[in-house]
Amino acid sequence: MSDGPNWVVPTGRRDGRVSLASKASNLPSPLDSVDTQRSKFAAKGLDDQDLATLSGMLSIPSNFLVVGST
């Protein structure tokens, strides 16, 4: 590509060696209400900041951000 600096970057997951479908059975859906998503995130030990970050709050239409709307 270029003659600039380069280095080897390790690839692959480092957070576990086993994947279980049963652990992914209650994932939040983009169609879930905010309350449902909050419950599902809380069940995994995550908070509202995690919800906003991982759900991509900037991509949610503005009508979902109005207090009291669903």
pLDDT for res 38:
92
pLDDT for res 52:
85
Domain coordinates in residue numbering, the chain: 27-59
70, pLDDT greater than 80: no
**Taking the CB of residue 39, how many other CB atoms lie within 10 A of it?**
13
Which residues, other chains included, contact 44 with Cβ-Cβ below 8 Å and sequence gap of 6+?
none
Q: Smallest Cα–Cα separation from 54: which of 65, 38, 70? A: 38
pLDDT for res 36:
93
pLDDT digits (tens, 9 = 90+) for 5-61: 888 888 877 777 777 888 777 788 888 898 999 999 998 899 999 988 887 755 555
